[in-house]
Structure 1
């Protein structure tokens, strides 16, 4: 069963699916094939046995298998009303194994448990002494896990499958029995704590994600650590967790596939507060007390050391392609014949300093082209082939009588193919959007982009032209080469109006699924941005863990930043008095402010552990009261996810005109 929520603004559809089960469970299978051949009255039988193995993740997850976690790793926001979750790229993973032999495949074998700061998470296997560091995992080998453990740490033992070696390393955590039984979901809870999420629409159709949710809230003003643990074959047939007769003094070992820590302390560290409190400006250094220097600083320049060929030292001005304002220069380099970077160095006799911005761009373009050996060879071969065709056409024009066919008629002239091959064209298109340009060329001084800041800019197209021409200069040695390049340069000389922003913030690292929209209009109210108002996004990339660049085709004046549907999280509504409740929705996704579950049913309120099964019953009862579902309707993990998901947060940054 699936439940859908439609976002009309983004023209995309978020779909919740109960589960995504595999056709075959992980394990070893045998196929017996028998064939009978009858010739006259004689029967011959032929048979064969084939063995094959279905493998699935069991003890570890590769980093690329994890789409996102929430709360973000190392975040400090107010997450006290949020149920942590992890989104997995492999949509069938939570249902590939069983919690006990014969259990329903609706019950996932993975659970996300939460350990609060100060809670004991294990005991030393040798001394039995408590380990007091929260989040303390151990690395062991599979050989150590093959045999059951009967000491103070309880472990049932495992049988290795094909592809698993005794020396393989895995992470484990030893949790005190008294704590684990308080926070561990029941099998009924587990069936609601995992689902599949898929987003599709006019502009995207992404692969489905498996999502595993915790049943415990983070503790306010403390750190917490979330663990994705394996519960394979850890439950009894009656649905109880098999703690192997552990005493209250014993610990229970669990395999950990992923863990991360975060704090629940600073309300200014949530998504909306981080974006609202960003330091907003253009990309430039602060003003100085010197008027002459400020003429350059206001244009985004920075002073850099310059070493002269004769051994002398001076300072030169440099600005990146990300300028505070529009560059009025309309001259395209395709009209020039630049043979070296020195031709683009500008000198100001009034202050005796050089401007090396465009020379640096040209030199960088040449170096990037030379660095890509395959591209450089392809470009040189294209130039040589094009030159040969041009020479042939010139000869044919000068001496047409020498170029005749068998009938004495002049052969038709073939013009040179001046179009780039697709691979060369794609390379230049990407370079034109600054892909591959080192970060220090974009932000030459760290003061220009401090932590928790956003900097808007215009793309200096003459800088980009210099970059492209430097790359196009491969094979440009003699003056004649430069003239040919000037005549036959297929690179566009049309000045493009491109704007954008750089953002350096914990939002970039903590929320990887940012949805960004830009408009040329200054939208000062809260109305949704219309589809025909949105600018085309030419590039949206993370340049580092916490730095994002976004380029728009046009002059952006309003930017909306929100979460994509796959980045949404789960939790409860809360108020200033820290009262929690759950506001419910219709099955079509429409929020209903007067439909709610309050109070929240707890398994252990002091431990902040939610009784998921009772919460589901409360949600069902409210929906039945509102005539949204029938008494006989089944309630699935997909419907639970729909009711528990938090609304998308959006922050608008607008430049008034």
Structure 2
């Protein structure tokens, strides 16, 4: 109480001087490089995870179940003012006097800047990957993400997610984590306009399509491996439909007739690969 009264009753000149000192300290803090040593930045590291919505009560994110029903995905944008209020609230626990409030008001922007840089290191460090100091030079300017509630989360543990900006630029993943058996959250540096959901890479297999009672295989460029057009397809010869076996020799002959060259076993394998399915969610602004 005495500290609060002394500060509130102190001369304006003293209060101005103290604020100037705090302001200079804030400028130094904002410009200093981010340290990845645990003992040096334990608080910044904890606040960085907080700003990635780690350990927040779920009802802070989804106030009512109707906002995230079964079999749904929701794209969202994280309001930076909300994050600043979150950090301010987390740092307010030790405030006992108005001097503490003045200190926080001057330093909070600098702390937010440090957190914005440190957030880029949270996911790589959890994955035991290295992070260079250069990667942490610039702070995160915007955070967008998604919430997925679906049996896919439980059934496909290796799902991969790729977010693209409105210009088609890939966005850095800041956090992709399970919140429950059927709910998953993803956060990216930037605002996703397109979200790609890829089956796990181990889902590669040999396959073809059943079209109008025939088994057809869409071919690939022999040099690049890229898929050709739908019309560039050959029929897959079936050896025994009941036993679900194909005639490899005859199918290879169909490929040779299309490419007008002899097909090697490696080229045959390339043609028969069927990549895992990719689902896309595209944001449409009204």
**Interval containing the TM-score (normalised by the shorter chain):** 0.5 to 0.7
SS of match in other structure, 2:54: coil
| 1:451 aligned residue | 70
Aligned match of 1:492: 112
> Paired residue for 1:574?
210
Aligned match of 2:88: 469
- Aligned CA distance change for structure 1 residues 629 and 477 (closer, same or farther; 3 Å): farther
- Counterpart of 2:153? 508
Supply the distance in 2 between the matched residues of 1:630 and 1:641 (Cα, whole angstroms).
14
Shift of 1:569: 4.0
Query: Which residue among 247, 250, 253 is the counterpart of 1:618?
Result: 250
What is the Cα deviation at residue 434 of structure 1?
0.9
User: How far apart are 1:623 and its partner, in Å?
Assistant: 3.4
* One of 261, 272, 279 as aligned partner of 1:643: 272
Which structure carries more helix by proportion?
Answer: 2
1:222-241 to 2 correspondence within 5 Å? none
Distance 1:644 1:536, change over 3 A: closer
* Contact preservation (8 Å) 2:199, 2:276: no
For the pair shown, the structure with the greater C-alpha radius of gyration is: 1
Determine the C-alpha separation between the residues in 2 that align with 1:654 and 1:642: 33
SS in 2 for 1:473: helix
CA RMSD of aligned residues (A): 3.8
Q: Report the equivalent of 1:596.
A: 234
Q: State how far apart, in whole Å, the 2-side matches of 1:647 and 1:563 are.
A: 7
2:219 pairs with 1:551: no
Change in Cα spacing, 1:619 to 1:434, as seen in structure 2 (3 Å) is: same
The two structures have a TM-score, normalised by structure 1, of 0.30
Are the structure 2 counterparts of residues 644 and 456 from structure 1 closer, same or farther at C-alpha, using a change threshold of 3 Å?
closer
Q: 2:178 touches 2:185 (CA, 8 Å); kept in 1? A: yes
1:394-429, CA deviations, whole angstroms, 9 ceiling, x for partnerless residues? 9xx9xxxxxxxxxxxxxxxx9797467344333322
Q: Which has the higher strand share?
A: 1
Write out per-residue CA displacement over residues 316-336 of structure 1, whole angstroms, 9 at most, x where no aligned residue.
Answer: xxxxxxxxxxxxxxxxxxxxx
Is 1:563 the counterpart of 2:198? The answer is yes
Cα drift, residue 449 of structure 1: 0.9
Cα drift, residue 450 of structure 1: 0.8
CA distance in 2, matches of 1:448, 1:595: 44
Partner of 1:276: none
For these two proteins, the number of residue pairs brought into alignment is 225
2 CA distance for matches of 1:436 and 1:444? 16
Distance 1:547 1:641, change over 3 A: farther
Q: Are the aligned partners of 1:513 and 1:564 in contact in 2 as well (CA < 8 Å)?
A: yes
Contact 1:515 1:564 in 2 (8 A): no
Q: CA deviation at 1:565?
A: 7.3
User: CA separation in 1, counterparts of 2:173 and 2:275?
Assistant: 27
Within-5 A mapping of 1:190-339: none
CA drift of 1:442 comes to: 1.4
Quick one: distance in 1 between partners of 2:194 and 2:25?
A: 47
For the 8 Å contact 2:237–2:251, the answer to whether it is kept is: no
SS of alignment partner, residue 601 of structure 1: strand
Q: Distance in 1 between matches of 2:234 and 2:44?
A: 57
Deviation at 1:547, TM superposition (A): 2.0
Q: Secondary structure at the match of 1:488?
A: helix
Aligned equivalents of 2:268 and 2:46: distance in 1?
46
Aligned to 1:656: 285
**Do the aligned partners of residues 543 and 622 (structure 1) sit closer, same or farther apart at CA in structure 2, a change above 3 Å counting?**
same
**Alpha-carbon spacing, 1:456–1:584, altered in 2? closer, same or farther (3 Å):** closer
1:163-178 alignment, distance < 5 Å: none
SS at match of 1:455: strand
Q: How far does the alpha carbon of each residue in 1:548-570 deviate from its partner, in whole angstroms, 9 at most, with x for none?
A: 323344454x3242426716543
Aligned residues of 1:601 and 1:610 also touching (Cα < 8 A): yes
* Runs of 4+ that moved beyond 6 A: 414-417
Q: Is the 8 A contact 2:150 2:183 kept in 1?
A: yes
Inter-CA distance 624–600: structure 2 relative to 1 (3 Å threshold): same
> What secondary structure is seen at the aligned counterpart in 2 of 1:436?
coil
Instruction: Tell whether the 8 Å contact from 2:215 to 2:235 is kept in structure 1 after alignment.
Output: no
Q: Is the 8 A contact 1:597 1:618 kept in 2?
A: no
* Structure 1 residues 484 and 517, CA gap change in structure 2 (3 angstroms): closer
* Structure 2 residue runs without a partner (length 5+): 1-17, 35-39, 117-139
Q: CA-to-partner distance for each residue in 1:10-64, whole Å, 9 max, x for gaps?
A: xxxxxxxxxxxxxxxxxxxxxxxxxxxxxxxxxxxxxxxxxxxxxxxxxxxxxxx
8 A Cα contact 1:518 1:552, kept in partner: no
- Counterpart in the other structure of 1:51: none
Which residue of structure 2 aligns with residue 189 of structure 1? none
Counterpart for residue 51 of structure 2: 432
